Amino acid sequence: MEITLNNRKETIPDGDITVADLIRFKNFTFRLLVTKVNGRLVKKEARDQVYIREGDDVTVLHLISGG
Amino acid sequence: MTNDHHIRTRLRDKIVGIAGCGGLGSNCAVALARVGVGRLVIADFDKVEVSNLNRQYFFADQVGMPKVTALRTNIHRIDKDIMVDSHELILNPDNIPEVFNDCDVIVEAFDSAEMKLMIVETVTEKMPGKPLVCGVGLAGWGENNDIGMKVFDNVYICGDHLREVSPDFPPIAPRVGIVANMEANQVLEILLGKMNDGNNTQ
């Protein structure tokens, strides 16, 4: 299925894919991530319960220390 | 009327929040003060330490002072007419919406990644649509061309997006200052619009 991931069109496998699955599939390895689906925040503990649908707009941000 | 005067006039009624007054926050606040943002809301719980002077906009005779007090003093040495609301506290998901409620833009200027995550989640959840400018990736030196800005909805992320602070790659003045000023520059673009959209010659 086609989704938008971080402002870019992406094709990911069809089927039941959660936000947590997507993070593994795309190999996001940073420790601290903010995830959103269609603008709505998906907290870390909910990532394996929120499914991604065709056409969804998904954002995965990473944060690292320094300031 | 010069364009500089025109920009100052447009910024006079703007309010910018600065979450954290360390390397990013102190330098960003000073840049925004110099360009004429009318009101700054600054928040930090910490006091100035000697080790901060390698990058933060404080002076040796301010060591021991609360950072918000020292920063307010330094801003007023540049322009005494800027309103500075200073909050000496630890920001958290409960007080962020209250402290920064009136702000047109919020600048994330923490050092810890956990706090950066906290404010992005808090603004996304409790202040939807509020522009939030973050600094991510500023450790070490050199590598100028790795530093840039990415935008995700209302979240603008400045930095190299990669290099975490570590004993080998500390946060030091030039790169921290670049990212802090890049955050200030992004705040201006949010407040004034893009230069090439004709917003520079009204």
pLDDT (0 to 100) of residue A45: 97
CB contact under 8 A, B152 and A61: yes
pLDDT in tens, chain A (67 residues): 999 999 999 999 999 999 999 999 999 999 999 999 999 999 999 999 999 999 999 999 999 999 9
Determine whether the interchain pair A65/B124 forms a contact, defined as Cβ–Cβ distance below 8 Å: no
State the average pLDDT for chain B.
96
How many other C-beta atoms can be found within 10 angstroms of the C-beta atom of residue A29?
A: 9
Cβ pair B127, B102 in contact under 8 A: no
Contact list in B for residue A39 (CB cut-off 8 A) is: 128, 153
Torsion of CA B41, B197, B180, A65, to 10 degrees: 100
Q: Answer whether A8 touches B (CB < 8 Å).
A: no
Record: contact A62-B165, CB cut-off 8 A: no
Tokens of A9: 């069109």
Question: Taking CA B186 as the corner, what is the angle to CA B185 and CA B191, rounded to the nearest 5 degrees?
Answer: 100
What's CA A39's distance to the chain center, in Å? 11
Pairing of strands A57-63, A2-5: parallel
Q: Helix B23-35 vs helix B3-11: angle between axes, to the nearest 10 degrees?
A: 120
- Strand A8-11 relative to strand A40-42, pairing: unpaired
DSSP letter, residue A51: B
- Reply yes or no on whether the pLDDT at B75 is more than 70: yes
Contacts of A7 in chain B (CB under 8 A): 151-152
In the structure, what pLDDT confidence band is assigned to residue B202 with cuts at 50, 70 and 90? very low
Q: What is the CATH number of the domain that holds A15?
A: 3.10.20.30
Q: Fold for B3-197, please state it.
A: Rossmann fold (3.40.50)
DSSP E strands, chain B: 15-19, 39-43, 83-87, 105-108, 132-135, 148-152, 155-159
Q: Position of tokens 């500390």? A: B170
Q: What value of ipTM does the predicted structure carry?
A: 0.95
Contact status of A59 with chain B (Cβ, < 8 Å)? yes
Residue for token pair 């840049």: B31
Burial A11-25 (b: 16+ CB within 10 A, else e): ebeeeebbbbbbbee
Of residues A36, A59, A64, nearest to B164 (C-beta): A64
Interchain contact, B135 vs A66, CB within 8 Å: yes
Residue A5, φ and ψ in degrees, nearest 5: -120, 120
Q: Is the dihedral of CA B19, B23, B24, B29 positive or negative?
A: positive
Test A67 with B155 for CB contact under 8 angstroms: no
- How far apart are the CA of B171 and the nearest CA of chain A, in angstroms? 6
Give the bridge partners for B151, in sequence order: B156
Is residue B139 over pLDDT 60?
A: yes
Q: What angle do CA B188, B192, B193 make, to 5 degrees?
A: 105
Residue B123 pLDDT: 98
Domain span holding position A29 = 2-63
Asked if residues B129 and A29 have their Cβ atoms less than 8 Å apart, the reply is no
